């Protein structure tokens, strides 16, 4: 039976994105929950904004004290830089093991249909939603994979996909690097893509993404497999990579090779202060930023090739 380790950090809500980045980059968490709201009859009956949750694969040698030391050292560095201690929260850390069933139950308790952009609606498979006007419904069950559209990095990607698909005004192809639940590839198909290829270095999420594609009746147009950008063959109109800044920098040349001459690259998973690192990597690969959508201190650059002067 698959298990995860859930890490809970108590924070001042203002520092949620900062601590999320620490959990991903320094602790190695595969997914983050920064805000939980419980609804009843479309009203919020419970909200937890002061806990950031990170998720790690279960290991027998998990060391909670090591995580506490890493987080407290970073917190102390912030205090030394002049930030008042009371504005940070105490960053106390606890952890617990959760089974696959608990993971699913957590999502069912806190995750509800949400509209992103002008027409995309992400809807859990266990909830009913009445489609309105030209809305595109994406039925999703994250299972053990990450990617539900609730985090700013995913929402930024979805909004960019919608905008770019409208601009292309026709059929296009999509490559999704680090696809998790398959949400971006599936949305790409729903927006008009004639095929979508997704890769993830976590083999356990492949079956989840395939199942989600079936739930949305697009499995014939989606291909998911274990790997990275370098393992994808061909060129694509849109390439999406919602990963860590450090990984994006490392694989930028592989992402560039996936782009058609007029292709568009959407990058996400980037905290705003790390954008210069992305810009440097893009320039080295003859790529440039077209625009930089932003949400809650996260950015998702929309990138094109640098055209040679005639």
Residue-wise pLDDT for 66-80, tens only, equals 999 999 999 998 888
Q: Over pLDDT 90: what percentage of the chain?
A: 48
For residue 51, the number of C-alpha atoms closer than 13 Å in the C-beta half-sphere is 12
Q: How large is the C-alpha radius of gyration of the chain?
A: 19
pLDDT in the model for residue 101: 63
Q: Check residue 41 and give its pLDDT.
A: 41
Q: How is residue 169 annotated by DSSP? A: T
d(CA 41, CA 304): 44
CA 92 from chain centre, in angstroms, equals 25
**Average pLDDT, integer, range 143-160:** 75
Reading the block at residue 87, the tokens are 């504005």
Give the full edge-to-edge strand order of the sheet including 3-10: 31-33, 51-57, 3-10, 93-99
How much of the chain, in percent, has pLDDT values that exceed 70?
87
CA distance 207 to 200: 11
Give the residue with greater pLDDT, 189 vs 25: 189
Q: 107, 124 in Cβ contact below 8 A?
A: yes
Q: How far is CA 148 from CA 58, 65, 143, 154, in A?
A: 21, 30, 10, 8
Q: Is the pLDDT of residue 310 over 50?
A: no
Which tokens go with 19? Answer: 């601590």
Instruction: Name the band, by pLDDT with cuts 50, 70 and 90, for residue 45.
Output: very low
pLDDT of residue 98: 85
> Looking at residue 142, what is its pLDDT?
58
- Could you give the domains of the chain? 3-108 (3.30.70), 143-305 (3.40.50.150)
pLDDT digits (tens, 9 = 90+) for 171-224: 899 999 998 889 999 999 999 999 999 999 888 788 889 999 999 999 999 999
Residue 82: pLDDT band (50, 70, 90) is: confident
Mean local confidence (pLDDT), 282-308: 91
- Separation of alpha carbons 287 and 251, rounded Å: 13
Average pLDDT, the chain: 85
């Amino acid at each position: 039976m698959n298990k995860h380790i859930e890490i809970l950090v108590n924070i001042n809500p203002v520092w949620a994105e900062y601590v999320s980045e620490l959990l991903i980059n320094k602790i190695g968490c595969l997914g983050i929950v920064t805000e939980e709201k419980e609804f009843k009859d479309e009203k919020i009956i419970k909200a937890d904004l002061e806990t950031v949750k990170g998720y790690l694969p279960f290991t027998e040698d998990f060391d909670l004290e090591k995580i506490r030391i890493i987080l407290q050292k970073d917190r102390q560095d912030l205090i030394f830089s002049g930030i008042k201690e009371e504005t940070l929260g105490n960053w106390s850390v606890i952890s617990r093991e959760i089974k696959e069933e608990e993971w699913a139950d957590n999502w069912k308790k806190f995750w509800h249909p949400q509209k992103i952009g002008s027409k995309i609606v992400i809807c859990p498979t266990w909830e009913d939603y009445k489609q309105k006007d030209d809305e595109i419904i994406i039925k999703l069950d994250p299972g053990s994979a990450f990617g539900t559209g609730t985090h700013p990095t995913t929402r930024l990607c979805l909004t960019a996909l919608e905008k770019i698909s409208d601009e292309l005004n026709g059929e296009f192809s999509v490559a999704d690097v680090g696809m998790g639940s398959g949400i971006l590839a599936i949305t790409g198909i729903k927006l008009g893509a004639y095929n979508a290829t997704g890769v993830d270095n976590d083999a356990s999420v492949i079956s989840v993404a395939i199942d989600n594609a079936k739930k949305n009746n697009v499995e014939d147009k989606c291909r998911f497999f274990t790997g990275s950008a370098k393992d994808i063959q061909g060129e694509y109109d849109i390439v999406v990579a919602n990963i860590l800044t450090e990984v994006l920098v490392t694989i930028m040349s592989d992402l560039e090779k996936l782009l058609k001459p007029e292709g568009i690259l959407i990058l996400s998973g980037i905290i705003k202060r790390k954008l210069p690192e992305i810009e440097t990597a893009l320039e080295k690969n003859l790529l440039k930023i077209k625009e930089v959508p932003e949400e809650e201190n996260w950015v998702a650059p929309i990138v094109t090739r640098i055209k040679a002067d005639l």
